Amino acid sequence: MDRCPYCANPVPPGATHCPACGSALVAPAHNLAQGTRLNRGRYTLGKVLGQGGFGITYLGADTQTRRPVAIKELFPEGSTRRASQVIPPTSLLGGGFSETMQRFEEEARTLARFDHPGIVKVFDVFEENGTAYMVMEFLRGQTLGKRIEQRGKLEPGEAEAVALKLADALEAVHGAGLLHRDIKPDNVFLTDDGRVVLIDFGSARQFALGKTMNHTRLVTPGYAPLEQYGTAGKFGPYTDIYALGATLYHALTGLTPPAATDRIQNNLAVRLPPATPDGLEHAVNRALEIRVGARPQTVAEFRALLTGRARPAPAPAPANGGLVVQVTPDNAQVELEGPNLLAQYLLDLGAAWNGYYNAKTPDGKPATPVLTAP
């Protein structure tokens, strides 16, 4: 049985709308016919490989190189087609669809920069039929999400091998100054020849370590850390590392990880199977720390935990469960009483706590707390 591309719930054969979320599903009539030629005849389309909220992916052939390719057509939900021309939905009329096309083409240019076995290769991008197309390598195999759905959780050794290959790919992404921002089992492809490939870079963004950045809010519950629930914050490799840990948790347990917001509100712990190797367990547990500062800060740190070259340092915890902050005007250290996790939750969301507690400097004078990142 197929699954809804928007909510992942089962969809009966022939359904035009998802019975769970009500989303309209792309009708077969909206697909370009097999045999359609694109880009002055260079590419020929075959069957549909998949469809989602923003596009349709076809099996294709490059007539110049004589190799199979995957061709992704930008076709946002709600679009229609007049002959071969894509008519965007009313929600994207005006400049909306042009901006969507620019982001789509930016994704292609981003991927074209890489030549790494763990990152999907992009060969071409072009505009036609009122929309844009991305030509990628055709990967034979299945996503990690589909693998778990069909065969259940991975054996620890298999999960460890996936973790190492994903870490290598992610290190290359971060080395280029980018964050993937949407690592999850459905965006990890396991090829028949043993590659582990990161796909779908539509949410990738540049980052400047230590600087507050404005990003579009992107949250995949279960895989997104708390800092992604806001539109501005200090994002870094640790943001993707949380999602990597959540993906490995899913692979090891067969269960979707709880959302970061649920974990902190309900004090939920993540538990791995007893057979999980020590290094893998340490790496995943540290990657899934709610507090940014308690996670591995780089992929190299994550890999060191994974391979057993580094033992996990205990997460720093202020005395009495409080959160140490800087105060003004005396710049003295004080402790704020209260649940540390809740304090960190509000901190990560950029909440202003000034005056919330009756903080005092060491000499007993009132002080205004100024929260700083851990």
> 31-137 and 141-306 share one CATH topology?
no
- The Cα 89–Cα 81 span in angstroms is 10
Each domain of the chain, given as residue ranges in start order, spans 31-137, 141-306, 319-369
Predicted local confidence at residue 339, as pLDDT: 40
**Parallel, antiparallel or unpaired: strands 205-206 and 188-191:** unpaired
Predicted local confidence at residue 25, as pLDDT: 61
Q: Which of 62, 182, 200, 240 is catalytic?
A: 182
Q: What is the pLDDT of residues 220-271, one digit of tens each?
A: 899 999 888 876 667 899 999 999 999 999 999 999 999 999 998 887 778 9
CATH class of 31-137: alpha beta
- What percentage of the chain's residues is helix, strand, coil (to nearest 5)? 30, 25, 45
Closest CA to 39 of 57, 63, 70, 55: 63
Beta-carbon contacts of 269 under 8 Å, excluding residues fewer than 6 positions away, are 263
pTM: 0.72
- The Cα 5–Cα 47 span in angstroms is 18
Phi, psi torsion values for 281, nearest 5 degrees: -65, -45
Q: What is the pLDDT of residues 310-363, one digit of tens each?
A: 654 554 443 333 333 333 333 333 333 334 444 444 444 443 333 333 344 445
For 328, the token pair is: 């003004």
Active site residue 182: yes
Predicted local confidence at residue 6, as pLDDT: 59
Closest CA to 140 of 156, 125, 120: 120
Predicted local confidence at residue 197, as pLDDT: 97
Inform me whether the pLDDT recorded for 364 exceeds 80. no
**Domain 141-306 architecture:** Orthogonal Bundle (1.10)
Residue-averaged pLDDT of the chain? 80
